[in-house]
């Protein structure tokens, strides 16, 4: 972690009333929510959101309803749902995933239909820079049906081959450069279709305080949840953390093991492994990628959320319920995390937790929560 700090809430400006619309209750059943925009090509929006609640039910003071400006998006989702029919095949997958959190899905690739590939292609940005294949949206559209039919056959026949990403460096405000991976056009199409299928499973698993790159959620919802939490909970101390080089340091072995908790379709897993191992091309030279997932790839945001779900979200949610002595508010957007605490002692223990602390009984379990006087 880098960029961590603790500070009193006097440093956090009081936001105007329009930032919230009343009390909300935390949804422990995990909600699918929002469409997040971030470091990737436009994320996939499933045809029908799972868990019919929506953002207004998520995360209590950490959650908010959809902004008024998202009304058109909601109408689009409802229209898509009617077109797909009720219940659709993915609806049934969603229902099983929600009902049985230990279920592993062995037959998912058949959901990557020709129609789903076509929809994925049509939702790509038409002005996006080409990958190593040099293929543009307009050129591919000239023979769309024939080429998508061929792509569909290669994906299902096992002859589809992932291409390396074209790496470009984007300047950051601090003077450093962010590596961005631009995938080949057909890789974008297949990734988008696969992400739509996997979202039906994982949107029911992810915790409510995860906001990044999810259907029905945006950075505005994350900020709104944080503002509401600070104002409505007893928050006196804030821990702000950013995972240094997260997308570049994801362990491929652990990534695949996490996916296997829910995905047992070896064909889907092989596709993801192909994308992880495809490598990058930079200044005409190809290199292998033994770690990380390309920022900019359509599948990377979902993989990042799956990875952090298992290595951070589940632990953090359990810690605040089991070990915290006061109120704790958590908001995570991709690799950026903000945690608000009522007690400084909780904030320090959360920041400095180690193996020794995890194996010890917390003082508050014996009714001896540490007392801290905080000036706010």
Ordered per-residue pLDDT tens for the chain, 376 residues: 444 444 433 333 334 433 333 333 333 333 333 333 333 333 333 333 333 333 433 355 454 443 344 443 444 444 344 444 445 888 999 999 999 999 999 999 999 999 999 999 999 999 998 999 999 999 999 999 999 999 999 999 999 999 999 988 888 787 777 778 889 999 999 999 999 999 999 999 999 999 999 999 999 999 999 999 999 999 999 999 988 888 888 999 999 999 999 999 999 999 999 999 988 888 778 877 778 787 778 899 999 999 999 999 999 999 999 999 999 999 999 999 999 999 999 999 998 874 344 444 344 443 444 433 333 2
Spatial separation of the C-alpha atoms in residues 181 and 191, rounded to whole Å: 14
Q: Are 250 and 303 in contact (CB under 8 A)?
A: yes
User: In terms of DSSP bridges, do strands 280-282 and 165-171 run parallel, antiparallel, or are they unpaired?
Assistant: parallel
Contact assessment for residue 167 and residue 282, using Cβ atoms and an 8 Å cutoff: yes
Distance, in Å, from the CA atom of 86 to the CA atom of 290, rounded to the nearest integer, reads: 42
Helix (H, G, I), strand (E, B) or coil at 85: coil
Closest CA relative to residue 108, chosen from 269, 252, 258: 269
Cβ atoms of 228 and 62 closer than 8 Å = yes
Beta bridge partners of 341: 237, 328
How many Cβ atoms from other residues are within 10 Å of residue 336's Cβ? 17
Length of the chain: 376
By DSSP bridging, strand 237-242 and strand 336-341 are: antiparallel
The CA distance from 129 to 137, in Å, is: 9
For 282, other C-beta atoms within 10 Å of its C-beta total: 16
Cα-Cα-Cα-Cα torsion 33, 29, 231, 362, nearest 10 degrees, comes to: -140
Distance CA 102, CA 264 (A): 12
H-helix or E-strand containing 83? helix 71-84
Token pair 């440093």 is at which residue?
11
pLDDT of residue 294: 78
pLDDT at 62: 54
State how far Cα 143 lies from the chain centre: 33
Cis peptide bond prior to 204, omega within 30° of 0: no
Looking at residue 36, its pLDDT comes to: 38
**CA dist 3 → 7, 16, 337 (Å):** 13, 27, 11
């Amino acid at each position: 972690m880098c960029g961590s700090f603790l500070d009193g809430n006097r440093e956090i400006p009081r936001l105007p009333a329009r930032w919230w619309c009343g009390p909300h209750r935390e949804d422990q059943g995990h909600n699918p929510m929002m469409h997040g925009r971030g470091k990737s090509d436009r994320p996939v929006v499933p045809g029908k959101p799972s868990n019919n609640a929506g953002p207004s039910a998520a995360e209590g003071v950490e959650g908010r309803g959809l902004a008024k400006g998202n009304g058109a998006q909601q109408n689009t989702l409802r229209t898509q749902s009617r077109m797909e029919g009720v219940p659709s095949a993915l609806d049934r997958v969603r229902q099983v995933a929600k009902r049985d959190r230990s279920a592993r899905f062995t037959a998912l690739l058949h959901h990557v239909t020709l129609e789903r590939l076509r929809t994925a292609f049509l939702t790509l940005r038409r002005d996006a820079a080409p990958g190593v294949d040099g293929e543009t949206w307009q050129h591919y559209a000239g023979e769309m049906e024939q080429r998508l039919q061929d792509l569909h056959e290669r994906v299902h026949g096992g002859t589809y081959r992932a291409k390396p990403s074209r790496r470009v460096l984007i300047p950051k405000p601090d003077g450093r450069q962010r590596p961005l991976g631009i995938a080949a056009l057909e890789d974008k199409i297949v990734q988008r279709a696969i992400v739509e299928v996997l979202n039906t499973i994982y949107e029911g698993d992810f915790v409510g305080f995860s906001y990044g790159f999810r259907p029905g959620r945006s950075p505005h919802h994350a900020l709104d949840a944080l503002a509401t939490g600070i104002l409505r909970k007893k928050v006196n101390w804030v821990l702000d953390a950013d995972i240094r080089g997260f997308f570049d340091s994801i362990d491929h072995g652990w990534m695949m093991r996490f996916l296997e908790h829910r995905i047992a379709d070896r064909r889907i897993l092989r596709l993801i492994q192909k994308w992880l191992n495809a490598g990058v091309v930079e200044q005409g030279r190809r290199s292998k990628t033994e770690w990380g997932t390309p920022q900019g790839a359509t599948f990377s945001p979902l993989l990042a959320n799956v990875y952090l779900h298992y290595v951070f979200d589940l632990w953090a949610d359990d810690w605040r319920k089991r070990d915290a002595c006061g109120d704790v508010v958590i908001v995570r957007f991709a690799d950026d995390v903000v945690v608000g605490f009522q007690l400084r002692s909780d904030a320090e223990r959360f920041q400095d937790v180690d193996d020794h602390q995890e194996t010890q009984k917390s003082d508050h379990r014996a009714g001896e929560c540490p007392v801290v006087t905080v000036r706010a």
